[in-house]
Chains A and B, each alone.
Chain A
Amino acid sequence: MESGCSKKLLDLIPQEKKWGFIENQNGISHGSSEEKKLELKLGPPGEEDEPLVSFGYFSSMKSNAKQAHNKFPPAQEDHRGGAVLTASWAKNHHHQPKPPNCSQKRTAPGPVVGWPPIRSFRKNLATTSKLASESPTSLPHKVAIERKPAAPETRGKGLFVKINMEGVPIGRKVDLKSYDSYEKLSTAVDELFRGLLAAQRDPSADGPKQEEEKVITGVLDGNGEYTLVYEDNEGDRMLVGDVPWHMFVSTVKRLRVLKSSELSVINLGSSKKGKMVQN
C-alpha cells in the first residue's frame, strides 16, 4: 500500500462532507443540503484539478468546493471535522478519541489498490477476448493472467508496479504503460520521491523549508546518488536500462531506488538478455 495511513484521497473527500455537514447543522436535512453533494476532487488542496467524475450540475459546486479547499488546513491534522462530530457521542465514552496525527501526504489521483473489487484473473478480459475474435488462428497470444498479489497489476491497460526508495518508508506505485522510455521513468522517479525524500531529510520542516528539495537525477547511468534497480519475473535484481524498453516492461515485477554507494554490496542477478529474447 502506498501510505501507512490512507491519508490521500480519503482526507479530502470525507472532510469536505464534514465541512458541509457542520455548516448546515442547523435545520437543513441530510439529503437536500447543497454541500452534501460531493465535489470529487483528487488533487491536493488548492490545486485546480479536474474532478474525477464530472457531472453537469457539479460545475456550480466548484466555487463552493474551492472555498472549502481554502478552509482546509493542508499540513495539519485532518480530523478537525472528525473531532467535532464525534464530540457529541464521545461524551458517552470514557476515552477521548485521539485523532491520528498523520501528516498530510501528497495525493495522487488515479486507481486505488484492490478497487473495483475484481479478482485479478477476471481482469484483462478485453485484451484476451478481443485478440481471440480478431485473429482466430493466433491463440499463442494467450495473455498470462498474473494472479500473484506481489506482481504488477494490470487493470485495463495499466501496468502498475511497486517502487520503493531507500530511506523512504512510503512506497509508491507507477503505471509503466504510461511511459515509453527509460528517460520518462527516470523523471517519474524524481517526481514521485523528491518531496518524500526531502521530508525524510528534514522532517521538522514546517513553514519555510531549511533545505531545498533536491532533484533526483542520474538514476540510470550510475552517476547520481541513487540508482534504479528492478526485480524481474525470476526474482533477480537487475539494473534498469540494459534491455529494450518493451522487454523491460514485460519482465519487471518491482522497482527499487537504491543508494548508488551501496550497489556493490547488493547481489545483482546476471544479465539475462538471452532468456528475455524467448519472451
Chain B
Amino acid sequence: MSEQMSDDDERQQSPPSDLDFTSNKARTCIVTGSVSGHTEFQSPYPDQVLENVLENVLHFLTSRRDRNTASLVCKSWYRVEALTRSELFIGNCYAVSPARATARFTRVRALHLKGRPRFADFNLMPPDWGAHFNPWVLAFAKACPWLEKVYLKRMSVTDDDLATLAESFLGFKELVLVCCDGFGTSGLSIFVSKCRQLKVLDLIESEVSDDETDWILCFPEGESHLESLIFDCVEYPINFEALERLVARSPSLKKLKLNRYVSIGQLYRLMVQAPQLTHLGTGSFSPSEIAGQGDQEPDYVTAFAACKSLVCLSGFREIIPDYLPAIYPICANLTSLNFSYANITAEQLKPIISNCHKLQVFWVLDSICDEGLQAVAATCKELRELRVFPVDAREDSDGPVSEIGFQAISEGCRKLQSILYFCQRMTNAAVIAMSRNCPDLVVFRLCIMGRHRPDHVTGEPMDDGFGAIVMNCKKLTRLAVSGLLTDKAFDYIGRYGKLVRTLSVAFAGDSDMALKYVLEGCPQLQKLEIRDSPFGDAALCSGLHHYYNMRFLWMSSCRLTYQGCQQIARAMPRLVVEVIRSADEEEMDVCVQTLYMYRSLEGPRNDAPKFVTIL
C-alpha cells in the first residue's frame, strides 16, 4: 500500500528528476551520444583507477536527486554515475525516448515510468491518448536484459508487452502497475507462467479486461518466491482453489490483497495458510451465498489474532459490518487502515478506531460523519495521512462531513503530513486552524465538492484559509484548492508557497493575474493542473521563464486560444505543446479545449492520436 499511499515520491528529489536531461551540460553530453566517453576522453591509467574508485563509491548513492547532481560534476562522473544507476525514474514517458535512456543507463535494474497526466483519470481526456509501454519494453529488452523491476503509473500496457517482459528478462522479479490499462487476464497468464523468479505482482487501481483466462492457475507449480500479490482492482472472479494452493506454497508471501470476489469464508482459509502476512486486503468481507445459514461460521477472530505481523489492512469491498469485530485483535498493531470502500457509520467505526493507537495512514468514507472523525482524532495521535472520500460524489448531495470533523482532526492529529478531504461545506476558520495545528503538512488537498462554494458561515471566499496553509505549513509541496477563490488566494500561493511542486486548480480565480502570481512566485512548481478557470493566453505567457523547469502544465476548459498556444510553442522549442479536443469533435475551434504541455528532449511524439494536435 505504500506505493498507493505516497504518490508524492517527488519528496525524494527536489529538482525535477530528469533535470540532468535538460540542463545544458547534460544536453551536450547526450547530443554527442554515448560515444563521447570514449572518443573525446582518452583515459590514461591513473584516471582509470579514479573511475574504478568512483564507481564503487557512486554505487552507494541511492537518491536520484543526489545522482542527478553527481552526474553534473564532470564527464567522468557523468559516465560513472550512468553506469552505476540501477533505478531509473522517468516522470514523463515522453520527456525522453527509450533509446536515449537505454543508451545512457546501461545497467538499470529497476525502471519507473509515468505516463498520462492525472486529470486523465477523471475522464478529461479521451482514451488512447498515448503513454504506451511497448517502445520501452522493446528497447530495454534489447539493451538491459538484467532489468528486474518495472513500476508503471498511468500507462497503457498490452498483453504482448507483458509477454515480452516475461520472455526477455530472465530474472524478472517485480511488476507494479498503478492506474494502467490495455491488458487482460490472458496477458497476466503468460506473464506469471514465465516469470519463475517473480516476487511482486501488484495491480493497483488498474483496468484489467476479462479474457476468461485463469491466470491464477498459471503460476508455476512448486515453491513460489512470491512476496506480494495485489489484485484488488480485478473486477472478475478468480479461481479460488488455485489461489489457495498458491498461497500455501508461497512461504515468503507478505502482502496479499484480494478482490471483491473473494468471500470472507475464503479469506479465512487464506489467512490460516498465511499468518505471516504484513499487508492484507480482505476482499469483499461478506459471505458468499453458497455458505448456508446453518453452517458453522469460521472463527474469524482467531484467524486475525494469529496474524501477529499484520500492520496494513484494506479491502472491505462489500462489508457486512457484523463481521467487523473480527479485526479487533490486530487493531493495536495497525499502522495503515483503508476503509475507503466500507460504507460504515460512526458507531460501527468507533470500537475499531479506539484501539488503533499506532495508526499512521487512514483512508475512509465520509459515511462516518464528523462524529467518526472526532473519534479518529481522539485516538490516532500518530496519524500522518488521512483521506476522506465521499460515498455520494455529487455536488449537491448531503455532506456528512464538514469543517467540524476537519477541525477535530487538526486538533487531535498534530503530526498530520498529508490530507485529502472531500466535503460539501468548509470554513476558513477550520482551514486556518489546521494550518496552525499541523505544521508538518506536506500534502494539502481539500475538495469542496460544490463549485465556487464560499465559506458557509461567513460567505467569504476561501482565500484566507488556503492562504494560511501556504503561509504556516512551511514544508508544503503539494496543494489542491477548491471552493470560491479569488485572485487573492493565488497571490498568497505565489508569495508563500515556495516549496510547492504540485498544484491542482479547478473552477477558481478571477483573472489571468491568478495564474501569473503562481507562475512567477513558485520556483519549485513542477506539475500544474488547471481546469475550468478563467486564465487566458496572457497568463500562459507569464510562465515562459519557468516551463523548462516543469514536468508538465495542464489547462482544460480555460480561455486559451490556438494563437496563444502557438506562441508558447514557438518561443520554447523543447516544449511539446499538445492541444487535445474531445474524441468526437472533428472541428478545430478558436478556443483550446485542453492544453497539455511538457518539456521533452525528443520533440513531438509520433504516436499522437488524431484528436491531439501538437503545435
Q: Which residues of A contact B (CB under 8 A)?
A: 1, 4-7, 9-10, 13-14, 17-18, 21, 30-31, 36-38, 40, 52-53, 55, 57, 79, 82, 85-86, 89-90, 93, 95, 97-102, 111-123, 125-126, 128-133, 136-140, 142, 144-145, 147-150, 153, 155-156, 162, 164, 169-171
Contact = CB atoms under 8 A, between A and B. Distances in A.
A118 B393 contact: yes
A22 B442 CA distance: 37
B590 A139 contact: no
Contact of B452 (A40, A100, A118): A40
Given A118-B390, A125-B343, A155-B393, A148 B365 contact: no
Given A36-B461, A125-B343, A132-B320, A97 B536 contact: yes
Given A1-B582, A6-B532, A144-B235, 14 more contacts: A1-B557, A1-B593, A4-B581, A5-B591, A86-B512, A98-B537, A102-B591, A112-B532, A115-B507, A116-B394, A119-B122, A119-B179, A156-B397, A171-B584
Given A89-B538, A137-B289, A53 B450 contact: yes
Contact of A117 (B122, B127, B456, B538): B122
Given A125-B341, A142-B318, A171-B584, A111 B394 contact: yes
Contacts of B120: 149
A31 B593 contact: no
Contact of B235 (A85, A101, A145, A169): A145
Given A116-B390, A145-B235, A99 B536 contact: yes
Given A55-B459, A115-B451, A82 B536 contact: yes
Contacts of B591: 4-7, 100, 102
B561 A100 contact: yes
Interface string B496-526: 0000000000110111110010000000000
B461 to A, nearest CB: 7
Query: Main SS of chain A's interface residues?
Result: loop
Interface residues of B, number: 92
Query: Main SS of chain B's interface residues?
Result: loop
Contacts of B127: 148-150
Interface of B: 119-127, 179, 205, 207, 233, 235, 260-261, 263, 284, 286-289, 317-321, 340-343, 365, 389-397, 422, 447, 449-454, 456, 459-461, 463-464, 484, 486, 488, 506-507, 509-513, 516, 531-532, 534, 536-538, 541, 556-559, 561, 563-564, 567, 581-587, 589-591, 593
A38 B318 contact: no
A122 B318 contact: no
B395 A123 contact: no
B567 A95 contact: yes
A125 B593 contact: no
Given A38-B484, A132-B286, A155-B393, A102 B589 contact: yes
A144 B209 CA distance: 12
Given A98-B561, A112-B451, A137-B289, A119 B121 contact: yes
Going nearest first, the 8 A-B pairs with the smallest beta carbon separation are: A114-B122, A6-B557, A129-B343, A5-B591, A4-B589, A132-B318, A97-B538, A85-B511
B563 A98 contact: yes
Contacts of A169: 585-587
A100 B592 CA distance: 9
A85 B263 CA distance: 60
Contact of B123 (A99, A138, A139, A149): A149
B126 A149 contact: yes
A139 B263 contact: yes
Given A36-B461, A55-B459, A128-B318, A139 B589 contact: no
Contact of B289 (A18, A31, A140, A162): A140
B516 to A, nearest CB: 7
